[in-house]
């Protein structure tokens, strides 16, 4: 018996990588600048994300949205992110597939020792480039929070912070919520 010969010349490497990362058994994984990273947050990391989620929950419901950690695709790049929190319209969340950063109202990343540089630089730049209107960085190493807004091809034009934990962070419309950061 001879092995079948395959011609993979027609395979799109970006699509193949993103397909593969979605089918890693038993694990959640993202792709950051072409590198596959398993997503396994610690409990203190989850506690910080949960604090944000609980504080914005009433407004998220009122807006007809959902806050979760679903997949975000960045087409034309080797990036496939799983944010700690993304707020999206409930109707979009029912589609079953990945969404685009521009379809979010807010993206939150909780930076930890293993991912801090990625969240501070790479994801901040990419979320802006792909149109995420608000990016909240909860930096547990620096013990500070920063809200980025006004996305563009070169990054976010506005940064509010870094504010030391314990200092409230005001999320603008459509949220109009003041986050208590003392529990981060």
Residue 20 has what pLDDT?
Answer: 87
| Nearest alpha carbon to residue 69 among 109, 117, 24 | 109
What is the b/e burial string over 104-114, where b = at least 16 CB atoms within 10 angstroms of the residue's CB? bbbbbbbbbee
Residue 28: inside a domain: no
More confident residue, 122 or 11: 122
pLDDT digits (tens, 9 = 90+) for 138-153: 999 999 999 999 999 9
Mean pLDDT across 96-116? 91
- Residue 89 maps to which CATH number? 3.90.1570.10
Q: Is residue 15 part of a domain?
A: no
What was the pLDDT predicted at 8? Answer: 64
Asked if residue 1 belongs to a domain, the reply is no
- Is residue 36 domain-resident? no
Tell me how far apart the 2 most distant CA atoms of the chain are, in Å. Answer: 69
The total domain count for the chain is: 1
Residue 17 vs residues 21, 29, 81, 96: alpha-carbon distances, Å: 6, 11, 13, 19
- Closest by CA to 159, choosing from 134, 127, 129, 184, is 134
**Residue 94: inside a domain, yes or no?**
yes
Q: What's the predicted TM-score (pTM) here?
A: 0.90
Is 47 a domain residue? yes
Answer whether residue 155 shows pLDDT above 70. yes
Domain membership of residue 25 (yes or no) is no
Helical ranges in 23-115 per DSSP H: 43-62, 90-93
Q: Would you say residue 130 lies in a domain?
A: yes
Domain extent, residue 168, equals 41-70+82-179
């Amino acid at each position: 018996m001879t092995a079948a010969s395959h011609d993979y010349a027609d395979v799109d490497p970006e699509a193949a990588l993103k397909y593969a990362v979605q089918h890693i058994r038993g694990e959640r994984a993202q792709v950051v600048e072409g590198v596959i990273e398993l997503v396994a947050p610690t409990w203190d990391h989850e506690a910080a994300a949960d604090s944000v989620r609980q504080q914005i929950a009433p407004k998220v419901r009122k807006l007809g949205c959902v806050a979760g950690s679903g997949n975000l695709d960045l087409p034309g790049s080797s990036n496939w992110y799983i944010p700690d929190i993304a707020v999206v319209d409930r109707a979009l969340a029912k589609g079953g597939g990945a969404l685009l950063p521009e379809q979010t109202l807010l993206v939150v990343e909780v930076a930890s020792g293993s991912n801090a540089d990625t969240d501070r630089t790479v994801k901040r730049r990419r979320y802006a480039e792909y149109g995420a209107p608000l990016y909240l960085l909860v930096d547990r190493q620096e013990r500070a929070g920063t809200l980025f807004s006004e996305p563009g091809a070169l990054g976010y034009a506005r940064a509010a912070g870094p504010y030391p934990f314990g200092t409230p962070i005001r999320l603008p419309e459509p949220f109009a919520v003041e986050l208590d950061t003392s529990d981060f």
